[in-house]
Structure 1
Amino acid sequence: MSKTESEKVVSVSSRGQATIPKEFREELGIDTPGRVKFIRTEEGDIVVRPIHSVTDLRGVLEGKTDDQERSATERLQEERKADTATEAELRQRYTSDAEGDT
């Protein structure tokens, strides 16, 4: 271990939870409550990075698919299409009901 590396041993609960030591949280600027992401490097190391904004999540789902082999983008596009169809149907129903009231 080099002089710049630091080590802490923490327990992992039966639910898979571990406490990030205070010195690391402060150094990384991790707020509590907060969110972090775990990244596996090409060397196989696991790196913990704080998430400060939604843009920090960019790329997290890259290469991942659901049980129907759809990417997150494909699934979102399908959901937006369905939402648009539902909105159009509701708009038409509302317009028809309003016209019937007059």
Structure 2
Amino acid sequence: MHFYTDLIDDGVRVRVEEPRLDAAIAIRFKDRLRDVAARHGPRILLDLTPVQFMDSSGLGAVLAIRRILPEGHRLELMGLTPNVDRVFRLTRMDTVFTIHGNQPGFPSTPDDEADR
């Protein structure tokens, strides 16, 4: 599971560098984001631009991250592809999350972990 982090004024931006956020990586994704949330805050801006497919496990992992954030912290999304955006709209999660469009110029600070 690969992602990049970039410190922003009020937290961290996390760019997921995977084409799929599904059952195969959902648990690792959730664990890794939990670690990021513990180190940074109060805002996590989750950049899903490279993600072309998300299933219910991926959506559940995103929701789990939102639920475990400390009070006063928030999880926002950006860069949803049409397929991923459809998942959020069909499940009405687009009313739960703040969703931003694409933002160019993401600096690459790798926070990778080799898949085992």
TM-score (norm. length: structure 2): 0.21
The higher-RCO structure (CA 8 Å, 6+ apart) is: 2
TM-score (norm. length: structure 1): 0.23
Quick check: which has more Rg, 1 or 2?
Answer: 1
Greater share of residues in strand: 2
Greater share of residues in helix: 1
